[in-house]
Structure 1
């Protein structure tokens, strides 16, 4: 029975080697040919700041930021809240799961740092909203 396994393993190895060689051939052919010219769009710099698109997407962005802030500020029953993760960290510590505690504590540190970032983004979006409104009236 042992020789059958060796031949099977050899056959699988040969098929894998052949597949690797076949898939490498197009890559080698592409590297030998000259590089295609980059499109004009990729070479040119942006002509504006995308203000129209930002103003158009503003309500959706505000909703997403508001939802994320509400979730982070939620109580321990809210999935994704800081309070829920704090409870999980405390549970891991009381159970003596040191590796899990360290992992969850690092996640908690990151999640707590998200709140000021999102609050700053919320302020920025309010300022952008006011700017967009002023542009609409012109």
Structure 2
């Protein structure tokens, strides 16, 4: 499937999900990467008016699990999040953040994905790693 078509499919799959609620928009996909953006508005703020760390984790896990499923491209198996860690390095009050997911290790039973979330000035906001388990679709 070509890049543009796959991005359209991803956005359609996001309807009526947390991805749509947080206004995450997929931007680019390739053999070993996926990028998306998310607006920083009151919708993703914590009570002090800053980007909520949980919203950053949602963006990271969305990118990481979607990338694993893209590179897996299987009718029999699916990648599901198993462990995520996130380091919140800088606050953000408004604007847009961009998530960049890349494959660290593609194994037979698990994938390790690195996700960097940056602001418009390319400053690192959050650094995350996601481990996805590769399981039979019937168990998902």
Superposition TM-score tier, normalisation by shorter sequence: under 0.3
Bigger Rg over Cα: 1
| Structure with more contact order per residue of length (Cα contacts < 8 Å, sep ≥ 6) | 2
TM-score of the superposed pair, with normalisation by structure 1: 0.26
More strand by share: 2
TM-score of the superposed pair, with normalisation by structure 2: 0.26
More helix by share: 1
